[in-house]
Chain A
Amino acid sequence: MRTSLTNRTFVSELRVLWAFSKRELVVYMRYPLDIFFDLIMEPFYILDWMIIGMFYVGGLTSQNLLTIAGTGDFISYLFLGGVLMGFARGAVWSAANSLRTEMRQGTLESCWITPIIRFTIMTGRILLNFFWMIVFDLFTGTLVYVIFKPVWHFDWAALFLIFVLTMLSNYAFGLLMGGIVFVFKEVWSFRDIFTSVLWILSGTTFPVEMLPAWAQSISQFVPYYYSLRDFRAVVINGVVLPELTSDLTFLLLFAVASLAASYALFKRMERVALREGTLGLY
């Protein structure tokens, strides 16, 4: 039987979560230029894709995109893809990066023996990133709206549901990457491959119809494919919540299943690192 001197409750875990977020915030604020760069980097990242579009198309509307995806407004198409997949990238990167930093600083092992649920520790690492991503994307969205004046529709209930369900999937991918970091340590290229494959299969910057049939079949099992499809349908085409029921149901099922599977894998990889005594190594 495992005993503990501490009295763990839901409230104590919440306190830990708060402490983690506060700590991450303090570290982030320590490098004030980072906040400035993050704020302007997000618009630049999306702007680069938009200029590429304008260079090759020669205007703000693509006839080919209109034929394939039902909208020729590639500015909105690329922006919305970039926003949603920015969250996916953020979850995967923040989980991997924060664990790596702690390994390098030599504090991971001591952090890991504290009587806190692993779920809480990992959430503390991803949560603040979500918050900042929202701030940065709102800023970018405002810029895109002011500069290009696209026609956007806002069914807030639908957008909220898409966002929440996508975040749950992000969280699952973040957990999975955390487990991989435990075993393989330096994984930035794997992380990039992982996010690039998700990027391609979800149709972030192009419709998945551009992919061969076998790749399109795989796309059906990637949650972001549905998130992006619905996100664009709501904002660009004005689709409302009741029309999205089947996609949202799939997203919910995927979120639950992937969270359970990711947590199990995470625990397993953590056990491997603990057994081999490599938790504190980098």
Chain B
Amino acid sequence: MRPTSLSKRSPLSEIRAIFAGVSVDLKQMRVYLLNFIGTLFVPLLFLLTFYLTVTSLTGGDLSRFHQITGSYDILAYMLVGYVFTSYVNDALFSIGENLKGMMTYGVFESISMVPLSRVAFLLMWTLSSYMWTTIYTSMILVSVWLLFGFVLQGNLPLAAFVIVLSVVALYGFGFFYAGFAIQLKGTYKFSYFISMIFPILCGFSYSILVLPAQVQVISRVIPLTYSIDMLRVSILATFPLIPTELELLVLAVSALVFPYLGYRTYLRLERRARREGTLGRY
């Protein structure tokens, strides 16, 4: 017999629920005022540190950089890497940390009983984070333009398309993390670890060509390597790792496969937690 529900669910009600969730998140952001304002300055300080470190090491001699990438624009190179890292971190942290937070507050069990599809839940937990990242990415670009006169150029529609494909693929990782968070409870360190290993293996701040050949083999099987590479190709016209058509194909396939696999994994792990009765524990 199919389970029945007193509520009347429709796509519109799911969308309303997602918006309600996003609005809760934005309210919480506003409540912690110091945190809210501070978020705007963190990326600028990071970029400044990065820029000064690279300049102190190279002394302005960018011949090696040019030889590998075909570009002289280190500021744009860093900026693209940083913006992309922000989106990756959203996928890694937002769902897992939201779940962990709800478990700690003791509300997860009751929230998980509301008549709402799991897809809506998972979208709700990440959407505000992605919105916020997009807002402060725009603010970083404006700040860099004001400070350095730097304007993002190149094939911007292609860059936007690459970001969208990558974000959709990253949702798959996010779904997987949600299930992982329910099972293992503490995922922060794991997310943190992944958020460190991906930039190293996928070359968020440098080209993977600088890595040892054995490590490059691993780098080349991770789709994020092609996301960041394709972003650089579209904005800076750097040398691509593989033909750009192939890079786009890898990203498109990832955007189709990962969310599906991640969602199936999440449902499986959540069911297991329900059976074991550990949903409300942290």
Which A residues lie at the B interface, using CB under 8 A? Answer: 30-31, 33-34, 37-38, 40-41, 44-45, 47-49, 51-58, 62-65, 67-69, 74, 101, 104-105, 180, 184-190, 192-193, 196-197, 199-200, 204-207, 210-211
* Inter-chain contact B56/A207, CB cutoff 8 Å: yes
B144 within 8 A of A: no
Type the 1/0 row for B33-72, where 1 means its CB is closer than 8 Å to any CB of A: 1111111011001101110111111110110110010000
Q: Which one, B41, B50, B206, B207, contacts A193 given CB within 8 A?
A: B41
* Inter-chain contact B42/A62, CB cutoff 8 Å: no
* Inter-chain contact A55/B105, CB cutoff 8 Å: no
Selected interface stretch from B121-129, B166-174, B196-204, B235-243: B196-204
Q: Which one, A62, A185, A200, A211, contacts B58 given CB within 8 A?
A: A62
Given known contacts A41-B193, A74-B57, A200 and B49 CB-to-CB distance under 8 angstroms: yes
**CB-based nearest B residue for A200:** B49
Interface residues of chain B: helix, strand, loop or mixed (majority): helix
Beyond known contacts A33-B190, A199-B49, A200-B49: 20 more, CB 8 A cutoff: A30-B186, A38-B189, A41-B189, A41-B193, A51-B210, A52-B53, A55-B205, A56-B206, A68-B56, A101-B104, A104-B104, A185-B32, A189-B39, A189-B42, A192-B38, A193-B38, A196-B46, A200-B45, A206-B52, A206-B55
* Inter-chain contact B35/A64, CB cutoff 8 Å: no
* Inter-chain contact A206/B64, CB cutoff 8 Å: no
Complex Cα gap A33–B194 (Å): 13
**CB-based nearest B residue for A53:** B57
Complex Cα gap A205–B184 (Å): 35
Chain B residues near A51 (CB, 8 Å)?
Answer: 200, 205-206, 210-211
Complex Cα gap A54–B199 (Å): 15
* Inter-chain contact B189/A37, CB cutoff 8 Å: yes
Could you tell me the distance in whole angstroms from the C-beta of A132 to the nearest C-beta in chain B? 12
* Inter-chain contact B33/A184, CB cutoff 8 Å: yes
Chain B residues near A196 (CB, 8 Å)?
Answer: 42, 45-46, 49
B192 within 8 A of A: yes
* Inter-chain contact A44/B52, CB cutoff 8 Å: no
Chain A residues near B105 (CB, 8 Å)?
Answer: 104
Could you tell me the distance in whole angstroms from the C-beta of B249 to the nearest C-beta in chain A? 27
Complex Cα gap A119–B143 (Å): 41
B185 within 8 A of A: yes
Chain A residues near B33 (CB, 8 Å)?
Answer: 184
Given known contacts A49-B53, A210-B55, A37 and B35 CB-to-CB distance under 8 angstroms: no
* Inter-chain contact B32/A186, CB cutoff 8 Å: yes
Chain A residues near B41 (CB, 8 Å)?
Answer: 189, 193
Chain A residues near B64 (CB, 8 Å)?
Answer: 55-58
Chain A residues near B48 (CB, 8 Å)?
Answer: 200
Chain B residues near A63 (CB, 8 Å)?
Answer: 59
**CB-based nearest B residue for A57:** B57
* Inter-chain contact A31/B189, CB cutoff 8 Å: yes
**Across chains A and B, which 4 residue pairs bring their CB atoms closest together, nearest first?**
A64-B59, A189-B38, A186-B32, A55-B206
* Inter-chain contact B56/A206, CB cutoff 8 Å: yes
15 A-B pairs within 8 Å (CB atoms) are namely: A37-B190, A40-B193, A44-B196, A45-B196, A47-B200, A51-B205, A51-B210, A55-B64, A55-B205, A55-B206, A64-B59, A65-B56, A69-B56, A185-B32, A205-B49
Complex Cα gap A51–B52 (Å): 16
* Inter-chain contact A41/B192, CB cutoff 8 Å: yes
Q: Which one, A30, A38, A53, A193, contacts B45 given CB within 8 A?
A: A193
Could you tell me the distance in whole angstroms from the C-beta of B253 to the nearest C-beta in chain A? 28
Chain A residues near B42 (CB, 8 Å)?
Answer: 189, 192-193, 196
Could you tell me the distance in whole angstroms from the C-beta of A279 to the nearest C-beta in chain B? 16
* Inter-chain contact B52/A211, CB cutoff 8 Å: yes
**CB-based nearest A residue for B34:** A184
Chain B residues near A205 (CB, 8 Å)?
Answer: 49, 52-53
B115 within 8 A of A: no
Given known contacts A51-B211, A190-B34, A65 and B57 CB-to-CB distance under 8 angstroms: yes
Chain A residues near B186 (CB, 8 Å)?
Answer: 30-31, 33-34
B154 within 8 A of A: no
**CB-based nearest B residue for A205:** B53
Complex Cα gap A62–B38 (Å): 34
Q: Residue among A47, A48, A189, A199 with the most chain B CB within 10 A?
A: A189
* Inter-chain contact B207/A55, CB cutoff 8 Å: yes
Given known contacts A52-B53, A200-B45, A184 and B32 CB-to-CB distance under 8 angstroms: yes
